[in-house]
Chains A and B, each alone.
Chain A
Amino acid sequence: MQVFDSGNVAAATSVKLARVQVVAAYPITPQTPLTEKLSQYVDSQVMDAEYVAVESEHSAMAVCIGASSAGARAFTATSSHGLLYMAEQLHWTAGARLPMVMCVVNRAVGAPFSIWNDQQDSISQRDCGWIQLYASDHQEILDTVIKAYRLSERICIPVMVCYDGYYLSHTYMPYRVPEQSAVDAFLPPYTYRHTLGPEKPTSLNTVTLPGGRTDIHGNFAPGYMELRESLDSEMKKAVAIYSEIDAEYLDIAGRGGDPIVQCYLCDDAEYVAVALGSMGRQLHDVADGLREEGIKIGVLSLAMFRPFPADILRAQLSGRKALIVFEKAFSPGQSGALRSELQAALYGEASQPELFNYILGLGGRSYSSVDFRSSIIESIQRKPGETGRCEEIGWIGLGR
């Protein structure tokens, strides 16, 4: 079925299709109509779920932790300061290896107070142990949430599905909705690995000593550091596992095939523009225009930021002349996080591209295809070796 609606409704539709059992959300700014839609679905019994209206985002995540631990499929959504208010619980969810999906509708963080789009909120939470996926249009929001539940429940790591506030959340686009029966076949009911109950009382995530220990059954129980190491090594498996899940989804929905990176005109490209989220789509048009002028440029849209798909990026980007990395978030005093990590991934490669970093759209500052075009031209006109310093940032749209 094809519908024409907002990105938030696409997300709510996917949560309904995933047969989520517990939705916990704080309803006030910085929230979006996504959770309003879900509360309508639950109230009108279109969705068989418990909707818990909590008093804060911290509590929303706490409810999801409880629900997921008890064997219920859980969902929440937030933005901006709501995500930051959850920060403590985000680390907890990942350390506890609890499957769940959260939509992060990317918005700026204060001070000063802003409600508009950038990606500083989710990027600043990159180290909390959640998988981070970025959608670049409404269809991807819907498909990614459904696939994210499969991924999260298979790998036991929570997943953020991030999409740009306003650019995607509040605009209308056509997208296709899969049949409920197809989603049911793709996404079986969730079961938690423990059955919590009085028959087998279990304490989850109790004080864990620095070293390992012998548990009451005489088995080696891991210490804190073993748990952290396994979160890292198992999250890194998400790249391959998500690709397998995407291939299955392609069979049922007819969409997918490039779940980690989407390359546009990259085959013979000497220059590649790299971006997360909806910027990737806009860059397609920019690349089309530059190609007409004879500039061999492609676009790589990154759909997964954690785990960082370094192998795939090296394979795609080594040997290019230059990469132009556009970001809507940065680390003050350094550069964009994506640029830093790309540079780290390419370090030591025989043929390293020059890297140029542009920061744009912070706090909703407008940007256009002309901005992308002029930044790309400025980058490729610089002499080789003239830049590449990791802390250099080009700012788009300052002073207007």
Chain B
Amino acid sequence: MADDDLRVLTSDSYAGPGDAGRTGAWRVLRPVIDYEKCAPAKSGKAACFLCWLYCPDNVVSKTLEPKIDLVYCKGCGICAEECPPHAIAMVEESKFSDLEAADMVQAGAVTAGADRD
């Protein structure tokens, strides 16, 4: 074992949010969930959650209205790809300069699932 005066610095990490830094800054496309289409949000029942299951960064919550932690979401789009009712839109980050995500969906500025087809 190392002496106390030796730091023995290594790069180790533990499972949990943000151990690779605030990776949300890497994002080019932001996932936006349309709760009118999202199965658990619409039905009020714990169901589906494929977004939660597939997210490689574990940033989607398993709640009736799934929430995405944008501090760490890298914007890979796997959740949008997997969502059966096409409830998740990948929106260019540049469109978020003034408006919040939900407002944009509500205002009809973007349409969930649109860029898939």
Contact = CB atoms under 8 A, between A and B. Distances in A.
Please list the 7 inter-chain residue pairs (A to B) with the smallest Cβ-Cβ separation, ordered nearest first: A216-B16, A230-B9, A208-B11, A213-B21, A156-B8, A203-B13, A156-B2
A199 B1 CA distance: 21
B11 A222 contact: yes
A193 B13 contact: no
B3 A194 contact: no
Nearest to A153: B1
Interface in B1-36: 1-3, 5-21
A215 B13 CA distance: 7
B20 A202 contact: no
Contacts of B13: 202-203, 206, 215-216, 221
Given A203-B13, A205-B10, 4 more contacts: A97-B10, A193-B1, A201-B14, A221-B19
A173 interface: no
Interface string A209-223: 101011111000110
A177 to B, nearest CB: 27
A216 B11 contact: no
13 contacts: A154-B6, A156-B8, A203-B13, A204-B10, A206-B11, A208-B11, A209-B21, A215-B19, A216-B15, A227-B9, A230-B8, A231-B9, A234-B6
A274 B20 CA distance: 48
A191 interface: yes
Contacts of A226: 9
Contact of B17 (A97, A209, A216): A216
B2 A207 contact: no
Contacts of B10: 95-97, 204-205, 227
Contacts of B19: 213, 215-216, 221
Interface of B: 1-3, 5-21
A155 interface: yes
Nearest to B5: A237
A234 B7 contact: yes
A208 B11 CA distance: 7
Contacts of A216: 13-19
Contacts of B2: 154-156, 193
B11 A221 contact: yes
A204 B11 CA distance: 6
Nearest to B8: A156
Contacts of A234: 6-8
A160 B117 CA distance: 60
Contacts of B5: 237
Contacts of A211: 21
A214 B18 contact: yes
Contacts of B18: 214, 216
Contacts of B8: 97, 156, 193, 230, 234
Contact of B12 (A155, A204, A214): A204
B3 A154 contact: yes
Contact of B14 (A95, A97, A154, A202): A202
B33 to A, nearest CB: 25
Nearest to A209: B21
A196 to B, nearest CB: 10
A202 B16 CA distance: 11
A214 B19 CA distance: 7
Nearest to B2: A156
B19 to A, nearest CB: 5
Contacts of A213: 19-21
Contacts of B9: 97, 222, 226-227, 230-231
A144 B13 CA distance: 35
Contacts of A203: 12-15
Nearest to A192: B1
B111 to A, nearest CB: 35
A226 B8 CA distance: 11
Nearest to A234: B6
A227 B3 CA distance: 17
Contacts of B14: 200-203, 215-217
B20 A191 contact: no
A205 B6 contact: no
A96 B21 CA distance: 20
A365 B16 CA distance: 59
